[in-house]
Amino acid sequence: MVRFISRIFSPVTNSEQETRRHILLWILIRVMLFTLLITITTYLREKGHPVILPPASVTSLFLLGIYGFSITSALLLRKAGWPARHFAISQLFCDTVFYALVVYSTGCSQSNFTALLVLPVIAGGLLLYRIGALFLAATATLLYGGLLALEFFDRVPGYFLASAYRPPATILTGINLFAIYGLIFFLAALLSGQLARRLSATEEKLSRTSLEYDRLSILYKQIFDDISTGIITTDQNDFVTSYNQAAERITGYPREKVLGQPFNRCFPAIRLLEKQGRSVCDFLKNEGTPIRIGYSFSYLNMPGQERQEDRQGKWKVITLQDISQIERMERQMREAEKMAAIGELSASIAHDFRNPLAAISGSAQILAMEHNPLETLDATTFKTLVAIISRESNRMAKTITDFLQFARPAPIQPEWFDFNRVVDEVIAHLSAGTKTAAVTEIRKEIAEHLDCWADRQQMQTILGHLLENASSAMGASPGSIVIAAHDNDRTGDGQGSLWVEIRDQGPGIPPELRDKVFTPFFSSRTDGTGLGLSIVRQIVENHCGTVEIDSATPQGCIVRLRFPLPQGVTP
């Protein structure tokens, strides 16, 4: 019954069908309420309580009339084509008359059921808004005033005399009751009408909000399912809570096998460390196909998870992408760029070979013109011609060597070695020639027994190019070249690095040219091929390291190299 009452007093929309539903519920409430009231009153009278009630025959006839009227009204409401609002006001008007009859037959001004007259007024406010409520309030007030008038003129049923009924002493008593109940009826009409208006407006806004929410939910689900990026969310315990179609397509694992399972158990190759950012890994799909996956994650600020210090207990969203094709395209692009550079290098070599070949050819022709060059040419001329042939041959050999190092770099074969010893070997090799003749010294700032993990031969190549460039940059100016190296402290994940710096006291490199010096064939030296720094960067990147150029103070240049040290490998 409580449920029916709550439904009957809920606000209606402008729908005709909704109004008819409320009227049917109100008819059912009427039948139940009158039956309950008459049954309880009859029971109390049988128990000897001073209750004013008509004879049983009259009461039964009245109750049957209520039943008949309610059944007829329900049938008419379903079959007749009357407007629902007109039918509602007629029903509530009849209810007001029925309640007035109950009040008249149970003691008029002394009736215990006078407050029932407010029910049709409240129902009218909820079903018909303020106008209907005010009409029913006026009807209830007039009917109650008529009952008080009948009572004042002693027009009451005869069975009142056999009960505890006492007529009002003065007319003021009736006027007072009329004023009080009339005010109550109109206040109930105003309040119920206002409440119905607000409830109707709230329901309309709620309906619009619910519709927008449904649309947003559908849009979110559509985006979540159709986006090409795999999306996985986990709760505070790292259990998978959502898993879109792209993630299912990338990983090959069906949704029913992933949802509700621990993330680390389903995808052990994807490591979600504390540090957020983009990472890559080798991933084996469900059917066994190996792919490369790029992934990242971020924390979700879910309700109840606002604690910033407990980052391990937070919800996460993980995004996945299959980057196998992208990496293949990048490799192809790098190969294409490399082939273009090799083609340019080939043209440069062909151009650079002309002068050495011309010098060698001229020297050889002079020697060939003499029948016995050792006897006919003086020693100075003979040595000069041989020196030209040797110098130009070495120049051509160095160009070929640089070309091969750039065009076909050898695979790295890393090992642990003493960095100091390699530096000493490179310095000794350079000092044996004329490359460092103008340099007063090459100083080392390297700790004893500093171990390096790299390809030993390629490290010699790197140091040779950099020291040769530093010596050439200083020219005939006195000064020194400093080569420094140190390894940094290992981080929490066991990763460390070796840092190498080569500093000179030359004029330095202008900031606008620092990015160009790594371009193949870019050189400010007349005897250079422009491949030295390109080879250096290529070797360093093959070691997964970095190289950068900075300016020294007050003058000079600093070339800074970083070589990552392996995790879990000790010298």
* CA distances to 312, 318, 390 from 300, in Å: 12, 10, 71
Shared-domain flag, residues 141 and 279: no
| Per-residue model confidence as pLDDT tens digits over 490-521 | 444 456 888 999 888 877 777 777 777 777 66
Residues 78 and 184 in one domain: yes
CATH number at 239 reads: 3.30.450.20
113 and 182: one domain?
Answer: yes
Looking at the fold, whether 288 and 250 belong to one and the same domain comes out as: yes
Whether residue 562 sits in one domain with residue 526: yes
Residue 224 maps to a domain: no
Cβ–Cβ under 8 Å, residues 502 and 481: yes
Residue 284: predicted pLDDT: 86
> 332 with 401, same domain?
yes
Within this chain, do residues 377 and 447 fall inside the same structural domain, yes or no? no
Where does a domain end: 268, 295, 322? 322
Q: Where residue 480 sits, what CATH number does that domain have? A: 3.30.565.10
Q: Are residues 202 and 173 in the same domain?
A: yes
What are the angstrom distances between the C-alpha of 212 and each of 1, 13, 14, 203, 505? 34, 19, 20, 14, 70
Is 459 within a domain? yes
Summary mean pLDDT of the chain: 79
Residue 145, in any domain of the structure: yes
Same domain, 390 and 430: no
Cα–Cα dist 460/536, whole Å = 10
Q: Tell me the C-alpha distance between 228 and 226, whole Å.
A: 6
Name the band, by pLDDT with cuts 50, 70 and 90, for residue 13: very low
- Collapsing DSSP to helix, strand or coil, 502 comes out as strand
Q: Are residues 352 and 387 in the same domain?
A: yes
Kindly state whether residues 509 and 419 are assigned to the same domain: yes
Given pLDDT bands bounded at 50, 70 and 90, which one contains residue 348? low
- Whether this prediction's pTM lies above 0.85 is answered by no
CA distances from 242 to 260, 318, 374 (A): 9, 10, 90
Domain assignment of residue 123, yes or no: yes
215 in any annotated domain: no
367: CATH: 1.10.287.130
Query: Mean of the pLDDT values across residues 394-422?
Result: 76
pLDDT tens, 426-464?
A: 888 887 765 444 445 788 888 888 889 899 988 988 888
Same domain, yes or no, for 402 and 517?
Answer: no
530-557 residue pLDDT tens? 677 888 888 888 888 998 888 766 678 8
- Alpha-carbon gap, residue 269 to 8, rounded angstroms: 60
- Inside any domain, residue 212: no
The C-alpha atoms of residue 195 and residue 189 are separated, in whole angstroms, by 10
Domain stop point among 347, 380, 408: 408
Report the number of distinct structural domains present in the chain. Answer: 4
List the domain range (segments joined by +) for residue 467. Answer: 412-571
Beta strand pairing status for 546-551 and 240-243?
unpaired
pLDDT of residue 524: 64
Give the per-residue pLDDT at 142.
93
